Amino acid sequence: MNRNTLLGLTLIFPTLLLLSCSQDQQAVEQSSDAVVTPGYQPQITGLLATLPADDDPDSKTFQTLDGRGFDIELFEGQKVFVNFWATWCAPCIREIPSINRAAEALEAEGYTFIFASDEDTETIDNFLYEREFPGNFVKLNGYFATYGIGAVPSSWLVDENGDVATVWAGAYEWDSEEMLEEIRLGEQPN
């Protein structure tokens, strides 16, 4: 190669590089516009939505996915259905839609439904982002066994006094007439 060819390439190469970088930057800006579109956000409803920010949410039994701690006493005077579940548990995942339908059926009767997992909030958030399940999903502080939960899914019905009135182990069709009646009675039939 002669000197003029090398000089020409030396001048052309940086120009091509700048043009290429400019096009890459435009592609990044265009793709980032698509990423900025708001995605699914888990619901926080009822009393959970009114909780103030908490300096130490880990000191409570539960915490919302945005870090507000609470104990079941928050719902004093109400009936609370707590479903203990995990993102890796297929029966748990299968029953979530029926629990949501039961929540809709019993909403006018003053029931609050909560889904509690002992996994970290990032795992729960990612799962909910992928699945887009509605409902009050929260983190249980501590492990299931700490609260006497030996298997998931399991569910509790907490009465108006804050006492666990009924415990169910296993998955159910919660929106069936039989299960809705069990929840209303607050005890399992004999």
pLDDT in the model for residue 190: 47
Check residue 86 and give its pLDDT. 97
Nearest to 117 by CA among 82, 90, 156, 75: 82
Nearest to 71 by CA among 149, 162, 168, 173: 162
pLDDT tens, position by position, 5-52: 434 434 443 333 333 333 333 333 332 232 222 455 556 667 787 787
Look up tokens 């998931």; give the residue: 152
Q: What is the pLDDT of residue 50?
A: 79
Side chain identity at residue 48, one-letter code: L
Angle of the 90-106 helix axis to the 177-185 helix axis, nearest 10: 70
Q: Give the pLDDT score at 57.
A: 87
Q: Please say whether the beta carbons of 81 and 157 come within 8 A.
A: yes
In sequence order, the β-bridge partners of residue 115 are 83, 137
Sole residue written with tokens 């945005």 = 66
Share of the chain above pLDDT 70, in %: 74
**pTM, to two decimals:** 0.75
Q: What is the pLDDT of residues 69-96, one digit of tens each?
A: 999 998 889 999 999 999 999 999 999 9
Mean pLDDT of 129-136: 90
